[in-house]
Structures are given as C-alpha cells and as structure tokens.
Amino acid sequence: MENPSEETPARWKSLPSWLLTQTANHAHRLVTDGFSSVHARGYHYRLLATLEEFGPASQAALGRRSDIHLSDMVAAINELADHKLVERAPDPSDRRRNIISLTAAGKRQLRRLEKQLAETQDELLAPLSPEERQRLTELLSRLLDHHTRRTGTPEESWR
C-alpha cells in the first residue's frame, strides 16, 4: 500500500489548517490509545482533574467546568463511580442533586493518567526541542484564545 501522504496534493501540505488537522488527528489517536492502555478515556481525565482542581461539585457544575455534555457526564460519572474513583452523595442543600467528589483511588488514577499524558506529549512532540515545544504551545494557545474570544464558544476538548 502506498503512503497516503505521498498522494496528498502539494498545495494542501503547506496549508496551516491541513497541517493542524493532520497533527490533531495524530494527537487524538495517541491520547486515546494512551488512556486506553490504562483503562480510561479522555472524559475520565477531564472529570478527575476538574474535581481535584475545584473540589466536590454537582454533576451540572462539573459538566460546565469540564465542558462535557450532560448526556455524556452521567455515563462517565457512572464509570468512575463503578471503579470507586469518585463518590456520589446527596447535596445537603438540595437532596434532588448529587455532589461528586474525588476518592483516594481517583487521585491515584489521576496521577496515572497524568503520567500517561506526559508520555503521550513526549511522543507527539518528539521531533521538537524543548524550546520549540514551548513556542508551539504558546502559538497554539494564542490561536485558540483568539478564536475562542472571537466566537464566544469554548474550545473543543478530548472525548
């Protein structure tokens, strides 16, 4: 089988949008495979990291902070609760609402996921020097900030 990039028209290969899309596809695959190797998904990382940073929260607040749609939130929280990585407890101020909190096992899993993510970042950015990695991150952040402010929409995140 021929290399698909050899069949890509040269005029596409120099477009920043095409390069970003192709790199994003590789990044997504690497992150997904990395999380899968430790029996997790991107949603799991986002929820555990959000809980560690902001503390216990209602499902609705957690969904807003982690940018996960409510329909996906319930399934992800169920998966984490089944593995005792988070706990659900009725909200004392509103018994109809649950408060989700991080468990000690959830903190350990978050450390594993962060280690996996660091390895994934190293693999993705392998051809770049530390200075180039920093500069790329700065440039991508600037682009994302610009378009997020311009459109008023949150950035798309890992699934």
The residue segments making up the domain with residue 112 are: 22-149
What total number of domains does the chain contain?
1
Q: What is the mean pLDDT of residues 105-124?
A: 96
Q: What is the mean pLDDT of residues 133-150?
A: 92
Residue 158 lies in a domain: no
pLDDT of 102 reads: 97
129 pLDDT band (50/70/90 cuts)?
very high
4 pLDDT band (50/70/90 cuts)?
low
Residue 159 lies in a domain: no
CATH code for the domain of 111: 1.10.10.10
* Cα 129 from Cα 142, distance rounded (Å): 20
Residue 127 lies in a domain: yes
**Contacts of 27 by beta carbon, 8 Å cutoff, 6+ apart:** 124
* Cα 22 from Cα 18, distance rounded (Å): 6
Q: Dump pLDDT digits (tens) for 41-94.
A: 999 999 999 999 999 999 889 999 998 988 899 999 999 999 999 999 998 888
Residue 29 lies in a domain: yes
5 pLDDT band (50/70/90 cuts)?
low
| Under 8 Å between Cβ of 68 and 60 | no
pLDDT of 8 reads: 77
Q: What is the mean pLDDT of residues 5-14?
A: 78
pLDDT of 159 reads: 44
